[in-house]
Amino acid sequence: MRILYLAHRVPYPPNKGEKLRAYHHLRHLAQRHDVHLVAFVDRPEDLPVADALRAFCGSVRLVPLDRRLSLLRGAWSLLRGRSLSEGFFESGAMRAAVVEAVRTAPVDVAWAYSSTMAQYLAATGAAATIADFVDVDSEKWRQYAAQSRGPLRWAYRLEAARLRACEARFGRAVTHVLFVSVGEAELFRSFCPGAPAVRVIPNGVDTTYFVPPPPGHWAPEPVFLFTGALDYRPNVEAVLFTAREVLPLVRQRVPAARFVAVGHRPVADLQRVAEASHGTFEVAGSVPDVRPYFRAARAYIAPLELGRGVQNKVLEAMAMRVPVVASPLAIAGLAAEPVRHVVECRTAAEYAEATADLLVDPRRGAALAGAALDLVLTHYAWEQHLRILDEVLSSC
């Protein structure tokens, strides 16, 4: 088939959740079909990656996205009774790129990655359309509203309602809607019962890249780790909570304990807290290879209280045989069982106790991490989930 794939971010390098899923889907599709990519690019460092994508895509078109102009378009979209998210990604240049991509040869399938890109599917003229919503993004805005006050709470609630209406509208208009977990799919069906075929395609882990150290490996220092984009609100709040509330309690039991956060574009608040910690909390920022940090950690912490879908960061920690301490939300989309695969916590005291236990007891960490690694290898290797893409296409 000839497939036009539309993405709201350049799906390369595959170093964060939204890029990982799109990259693996795109690469798999290109092995069997003639795939053409059109994607927004909002950061200068993403521009040189087009050559890597052209290695397996028939064509690659990147459309610059000016974030300031996009925010203005988002605000105008709100005034027009639509969602901010839809307006943020509304672009005449993107629409022109889509039309140009199908001008020379029609496409059999048009594929939109994220609900905000579904607005361009009609312009493709494709007989079959697929929208990979990944998760129900409107629910994230509802969570933001629940944890905010004043005008901000009102604005978040408005965006949640507007975006949910957008998700339902596009969900009913396409041939297939994809989600990352059963929970996200069921939530979508609850407000869009008239949607067409809804399929679940879980995320996976590249187990040829995230190869764990041998059994019995014990990091030399009592370090625990967090990974993820450090300019993303749920991650920032999780790291600040850990540094300010969990780390001091851990150090009461393990005085040499250190907390390390790795991720792109750390915000100033994180840097300030790290500088005031006298070396007990380190913000490593963006690194070329996160695997050495996993190997140097005795535990992984994920105290997320906001967010949707499957947390790839947790899967990667499990694949690297690092025992995980996490919130219920952080493992909500996974088949992980508390106690057996992960330690589930809710309060700073619970996180501190569980983390300290793992920092001092190699047998406890080995049992937990070993079971989690088996879970990843059995249920979360990318190859297993990518076969579902073929089933979806065969029904178009």
- Partner residues linked to 332 by β-bridges: none
The pLDDT of residue 194: 80
The pLDDT of residue 335: 86
Q: Which has the closest alpha carbon to 259: 251, 34, 267?
A: 251
- In this predicted structure, the answer to whether residue 102 has a pLDDT above a threshold of 70 is yes
pLDDT in tens, 207-216: 999 999 999 8
The pLDDT of residue 195: 83
Q: How far is CA 92 from CA 8, 26, 64, 99, in A?
A: 14, 24, 11, 11
> In Å, how far from its chain's centre is CA 339?
25
- In this predicted structure, the answer to whether residue 117 has a pLDDT above a threshold of 80 is yes
pLDDT in tens, 146-204: 988 999 999 999 999 999 999 999 999 999 999 998 999 999 999 999 888 999 999 88
Global pTM reads 0.86
Average pLDDT of the residues of the chain: 93
pLDDT in tens, 329-345: 999 878 889 999 999 99
> Which range (14-18, 169-173, 320-324) has the least confidence?
14-18
The pLDDT of residue 309: 65
Q: How far is CA 210 from CA 86, 232, 292, 360, in A?
A: 35, 23, 10, 25
Query: For residue 140, what are its two tokens?
Result: 């994230």
d(C-alpha 302, C-alpha 305), whole Å: 9
